[in-house]
Structure 1
Amino acid sequence: MTETAKAAFIDELNAALGAAVVTGEDIPAPFRHDWSGLPPVLPIALIRPRETDEVATALKIANRHGVTIVPQGGLTGLAGGAQPVAGGAVLSLDRMSGIEEIDPVMASITVKAGTPLEVVQKAADEAGLFLGIDLGARGSCQIGGNLATNAGGNRVIRYGMAREHVLGLEVVLPDGTVVTSLNKLIKNNAGYDLKQLFIGSEGTLGIITRVVLRLQAKPLTVNTVFCGCRDFPAVLDLLKGARARLGPALSAFEVMWPSFYDFMTGKLSELRRPLGRPHGVYVLLEQSGFDPEADSGRLEAVMAEMLEAGIVEDAVLASSERETRDLWAVRDSVSEYGKLMGPITAFDVGLQTDRMADVIAGIEAAYQARWPGAILLVYGHIGDSNLHLVANVPAAGDHQPHDDITDLVLGAVRAAGGTVSAEHGIGLLKKKYLHFTRSDAELALMARLKAALDPGNILNTGKVFTL
């Protein structure tokens, strides 16, 4: 973009949106990058609208000038989806925050897209209801970004991915057209379900501005147990047994390999080791229900059976909220990676659950053969076939072999018929690996949808795939 074209774009933005526009070095540092680890990029403008019509105005102007707009939410993404691009502007939803309505009869909540997830959770809780979406970044991530990436999280095994919670959306298309479909009905089969086009599209097809979310009955009980299992086949037996005995009351099933458990509990003095002796694999299991007199007993009975059968070697059942927080703290310690490891290469993959142990063993062997003594931490949700790996080669310092590590890990995932992204999206970092998971016909259809809705290719240009 020439300086003259850039100046014309900024002048029109300023005239239309005034104080909502920031340029040059006045753009705060946090808006120059997301959590992906990519180097900061100074956008030509930062747009911070307060209302949907301001989003529409910004996109109309960008469309006329052919300027890329990168939508930004809480900037907690790990795939580079909210990373600014050179010569482009960023549009942050951070000022479009707030609860508009809670409908206790329809069990729905209407919110602006920039509302932090934790704020929505608390509003639902105060109304005696429950939002089934939950992520470790709940205090920072925004609901619009959760939907744009179809976020997963800790309770997918019971409540499903983010798209399962959406009843209606308001979206601004790349040409500035506002599509308002704030539906509250669970059953609405009138034509195409257009909201599904935008959920998981990573801001490449439209910018979500308002949302109607489906809420659930608020569980009356939550019980948590931390288990040690001999090996991964025992973990699978535990999962099958818990599903059979607890049914929909099974609300979380988090698995940690010793690589993760030993490293994090060894490095973080504030983490208490839940179990006294080492085990082959660790499981954090949560049950939530509606029978205060019986629920705890049901879980205790299940664990007694698992212990007697040798499926579980040892277990500790939380008896207070503090103990529950301590058990979850081990799994949620992932937020400390940067402090403990420096630069990392992180993976969010999906694999058929019964293949996970063999795939991980193969990856670990190949990784250590290539980089002896390097760190590879493995954990995941497992109950929904989602696995996370975090790699660091200490000898490489700040110059981590990201590409070589990624080729190794995602090559193994591809060979096992898995997906290169289970819940974090594609963004920039996984774009060249998308064909590992999607067929040529699927990629061609994605390109046709992008061309139809964004013929000027201004929304999150270059993310997910290249036209």
Structure 2
Amino acid sequence: DAAAGTMTVLAGTPLEVAQRAAEDAGFLLPIDLGARGSCQIAGNLATNAGGIRVIRNGVARDNVLGLEAVLADGTVISSMNKMIKNNTGYDLRQLFIGSEGTLGIITRAVLRLRPLPAGRLTALCTLGTYENVVALLRRAQKELAGLSAYEAMWESYFRFNCEAEGLRLFEATPAFAVIVEEDLQGHEAERERFEAFLGRALEEGLIGDALIAQSQKEVQTFWRIREGHALDRLPLLLNFDVSLPIGEIGRFADECGKALRAKFPEAHVSFFGHVGDSNLHIAFSVPGATEETAHAVDAVVYGLVGIYSGSVSAEHGIGLLKRDFLDRSRSPAELELMRRIKNALDPNGILNPGKVLGSI
């Protein structure tokens, strides 16, 4: 619907198919993540997927206007709303978005579209401290009207992926590498402004160096390092997805890295994340890891998340693996209310049984 700026999709539509259809019509579907070629819209919504454009366009739930879902008793709840303003009682779509299929099965959705950018500018910057990572973020949010991505990589993560890809982009591996990306409106002055922004940051010592992508191939190279598919080659890789107050992420990463390396001196431990939306990912791998190893790593990571008042899941959801750690991020009163909602909509526990809250 070009007038409403919406797209109506079936549950099984792959995200990339929906993105291309939106682009063909002159729009941007803002939901975007690395699994775009295989993930499906209903899964994106059921897990409230985040991804790389959250800093500008929000998580999945922020891009949904209407929803259809089937309840455990077969009732079809259909609210295929196309209006941005619709303040008519409880917002029922939010019951199902992020509920991981435990309250209903999403069958259709109305997604909100945005204007298609005229292009994008992408830079890869080096920084010496996490404090500078935050300072550059705040500067970018103030000076780059179209800031759409801000992705940070700690030294060990950046080094590992550059070596795996056979790349050497800087003389020495920086303490931090950040991808800054801006959506363009098509004005001639935008590139000049982007370059001036980086120039000032360089002069003031916020960044040590910067590469501005000159081609789509270079853009893909920067993102290939960030997406880190080479990590899959590591044995028994454990991935963590947590969220913390932006100002605390640097200290958390330092403390978490030291604690994990003290317990497992031979382990690969690296950090990367969206930062601009408070999301940090942790990659852990050690040869010969067992189930006990995984439990020990969980205890370290989620124990620290609780101390820092963070979230045990920024965008991956709870499922089974994080179910026992949900109380690190949610109060007893919140958990009890979740159980009451689950009991009301699915009293027999037939929808994705055991997930999120366990047996009810």
Place the TM-score, normalised by the shorter chain, in its bin.
over 0.9
1:336: how far off? Answer: 3.4
Counterparts of 1:157 and 1:132 in 2: how far apart (Å)? 11
1:397: how far off? Answer: 4.7
1:316 partner SS: strand
Maintained 8 Å contact 1:343/1:400: no
Residues 346-375 of structure 1 show CA distances to partners (whole Å, capped at 9, x for unaligned) of 110001111111111111111111111211
Residues 102-157 of structure 1 show CA distances to partners (whole Å, capped at 9, x for unaligned) of x1111100010111100000000000000111000000110100000000000100
Corresponding residue of 2:194: 299
Maintained 8 Å contact 2:64/2:110: yes
Counterparts of 2:289 and 2:259 in 1: how far apart (Å)? 20
- After TM superposition, the structure 1 = structure 2 runs for residues 367-382 of structure 1, keeping only pairs within 5 Å, are 367-382=260-275
Counterparts of 2:195 and 2:47 in 1: how far apart (Å)? 37
**Is residue 50 of structure 2 the alignment partner of residue 169 of structure 1?**
no
1:450: how far off? Answer: 0.3
Corresponding residue of 2:215: 320
* Stretches of structure 1 lacking an aligned partner (at least 5 in a row): 1-102
**Aligned residue type for 1:158:** R
**Is residue 43 of structure 2 the alignment partner of residue 150 of structure 1?**
no
Counterparts of 2:22 and 2:9 in 1: how far apart (Å)? 11
**Aligned residue type for 1:190:** T
Counterparts of 2:293 and 2:187 in 1: how far apart (Å)? 51
1:342: how far off? Answer: 2.2
Segment of structure 1 superposing worse, 155-164 or 294-303: 294-303
Maintained 8 Å contact 1:393/1:400: no
1:286 partner SS: strand
- Return the TM-score normalized by structure 1: 0.75
Counterparts of 2:315 and 2:347 in 1: how far apart (Å)? 27
1:204: how far off? Answer: 0.1
Residues 263-298 of structure 1 show CA distances to partners (whole Å, capped at 9, x for unaligned) of 1111233xx333232211110010112034121111
**Is residue 103 of structure 2 the alignment partner of residue 205 of structure 1?**
yes
**Is residue 231 of structure 2 the alignment partner of residue 337 of structure 1?**
yes
**Is residue 347 of structure 2 the alignment partner of residue 449 of structure 1?**
no
Counterparts of 1:343 and 1:373 in 2: how far apart (Å)? 13
Counterparts of 1:443 and 1:348 in 2: how far apart (Å)? 21
2:144 partner SS: helix
Residues 37-73 of structure 1 show CA distances to partners (whole Å, capped at 9, x for unaligned) of xxxxxxxxxxxxxxxxxxxxxxxxxxxxxxxxxxxxx
Maintained 8 Å contact 1:306/1:312: yes
**Is residue 161 of structure 2 the alignment partner of residue 264 of structure 1?**
yes
| Structure ranking higher on relative contact order (CA contacts 8 Å, 6+ apart) | 2
Corresponding residue of 2:356: 464
* Stretches of structure 2 lacking an aligned partner (at least 5 in a row): none
**Is residue 310 of structure 2 the alignment partner of residue 418 of structure 1?**
yes
**Aligned residue type for 2:131:** P
**Is residue 125 of structure 2 the alignment partner of residue 227 of structure 1?**
yes
**Is residue 17 of structure 2 the alignment partner of residue 104 of structure 1?**
no
- Return the TM-score normalized by structure 2: 0.97
**Is residue 16 of structure 2 the alignment partner of residue 141 of structure 1?**
no
Counterparts of 1:317 and 1:296 in 2: how far apart (Å)? 10
RMSD: 1.1
2:349 partner SS: coil
Counterparts of 1:180 and 1:377 in 2: how far apart (Å)? 44
Counterparts of 2:30 and 2:357 in 1: how far apart (Å)? 30
Structure 1's consecutive aligned runs of 4 or more residues displaced over 3 angstroms after TM superposition are 397-400
Percent of aligned positions with the same letter in both sequences?
Answer: 48
**Aligned residue type for 2:262:** A
Corresponding residue of 2:140: 242
Counterparts of 2:105 and 2:327 in 1: how far apart (Å)? 25
Maintained 8 Å contact 1:226/1:274: no
Counterparts of 1:220 and 1:294 in 2: how far apart (Å)? 13
1:401 partner SS: helix
**Is residue 257 of structure 2 the alignment partner of residue 364 of structure 1?**
yes
* Rg larger for: 1
Corresponding residue of 1:120: 18
Counterparts of 1:322 and 1:305 in 2: how far apart (Å)? 26
